[in-house]
Amino acid sequence: MVKHIIIWKLQDKCFGPNLETIKANMKTRLEDLNGKIPGVQNIEVYTDCLSSSNGDVAMEAIFDNEEAVKEYKKNELRLEATKDVVVPFVDTTTHVEFEI
């Protein structure tokens, strides 16, 4: 199995009255991918990062293997979700993957 962790730093424009809506939409759309993409065992999005964190939103996903991660990254459902709720709001992205 492979664990995939992403940390997103949101753009400054997000920190206003729409912040919680932006985070909630990210969580809903990405977690909705559970059960829809082969090789993905679980996706969980964390929107309540502590103030001591370097990021604003994090995602943890478990995959069957490294090939499943590669397939996920080019999956049309994932690409559509990230285009809608991640790309417009994220300033920087950091990720790591490792076998578990």
Q: How far is CA 95 from CA 3, 4, 60, 100, in A?
A: 10, 7, 10, 16
Confidence at residue 35, expressed as pLDDT on a 0 to 100 scale: 97
Question: How far apart are alpha carbons 50 and 57 in whole angstroms?
Answer: 10
Supply 23's token pair. 């985070």
Domain count, the chain: 1
Question: How far apart are alpha carbons 9 and 65 in whole angstroms?
Answer: 27
- pLDDT single digits (tens) 40-95: 999 999 999 998 999 999 999 999 999 999 999 999 999 999 999 999 999 999 99
16 DSSP assignment: S
Q: What is the CATH number of the domain that holds 67?
A: 3.30.70.100
For residue 91, give its domain range: 2-99
- pLDDT single digits (tens) 2-32: 999 999 999 999 999 999 999 999 999 999 9
Q: Is the pTM of this model over 0.85?
A: yes
